[in-house]
Structure 1
Amino acid sequence: MYLAQAKWDTPRVVKGVRFSLRLTSGKGTDARLVTTAITADTEHRFSGLPLGEYTLTVRAINSYGQQGEPATTTFRIAAPAAPSRIELTPGYFQITATPHLAVYDPTVQFEFWFSEKRIADIRQVETAARYLGSALYWIAASINIKPGHDYYFYIRSVNTVGKSAFAS
C-alpha cells in the first residue's frame, strides 16, 4: 500500500473556505470512488492506496456552501516505464550512457549494468553483467575501454514503487 500527498494553492485568500476532495481509481466508466474528504488545509494525505491510476478532484466551498470550479489531476502509482531510448556519447577512453523516458518523470532514476559481452537472455543481466550504480546518467571510464571493441549497457528505470524491464 502507498501514500499520496496532494497540495494545491488558491489564487486569493478567502476566509472560511473549505475544500472538497474526491479521489477515484480507474478511468471513464470503470472509475470507482476511493474516498472523499473535506478540509480547510491546502494539502491532504491519502494512505493505503494500492497500485493503480487515480484522479483527484478538488473544489473550493465557501461559507455559504457555494462550490467553485473543480480542479482535476491524474496520477499513477506504479513501477516506471523502461527507458524509451539510450543516448551513447563516446569520449576519450570512456562512454557516457544517458537514458531517456518517453514521458519525463522526476521520481525516476536509472540502474546501470555493464558487460563486455552481449547477454542474449535479458533475465540474466543481474547475474552476467556488472552493476555500476544508480544515477540519471553514467560515465564508464577505464583503461579497459578500448577503441574498436563493443560494450553493452543494460539500463532500467527505478522509482519507490519498483523497477522496469531492462533496456540495452
Structure 2
Amino acid sequence: MKGNNVILKDVNGVDFNFLEFIKTNDCVVFLYPKMGQSGKFLDDDLKNKEGMTGCTLQTKSYENLKDEFLKNNFNIVAIGSHSFEKQKAFKQEVEASFIFLNDEKFILEKELGLKTFNTNDGNKFYFRQTLVFKNSKLIYKHDVKDAQSDASQTLKFIESL
C-alpha cells in the first residue's frame, strides 16, 4: 500500500491506522456489503449475483472460528462501508468479538484495488471480498460467493501456509 497511513474508523469512531496494524499483525480481512434498505435498489444483475447476501452468516462463521484463526496467529478484521454507528450495532447484534472498521471513504478501494458497486438509491458498497495479510503483504485476495463457508475456506488456506 502507498504511504505510511491508511486511517479508518473503528466502531466507536476512533481513528485506526490499518497500515500500521498489518505491519505488525497477520490478519484475515473480510469486506462485507451490509446493504440494509439499499438492497431494495439493486439492479437485477446484482440481485442475482452470488455473495450479495449473508453478512450475518459470514460474520458469525468468523466468530465461531476465531480461536482457530488466533491459534494460527491471525487476527480477524471486518470492514464495511456503512457508518461506524451502524457497524457497532451490527457487531453487537451478531456478538462478534473481533475488530470492525469503517471505510465510508473507500480508502482501501484505491489502495488495494477492491471491487465496489452502487445501488440505485445512490449508495456505494464493497462487494464481499476476503484478504489475507502475512508479514505485511497481501498474500490472498478472494471474491466471496458463499458467505457461510468463507471463514472455513479461509482457515484452510491459512493452515496450508
- TM-score normalised to the size of structure 1? 0.20
| Structure with larger Rg | 1
Greater relative contact order structure (CA < 8 Å, 6+ sep)? 2
Query: Could you say which structure has the higher strand fraction?
Result: 1
Query: Could you say which structure has the higher helix fraction?
Result: 2
- TM-score normalised to the size of structure 2? 0.21
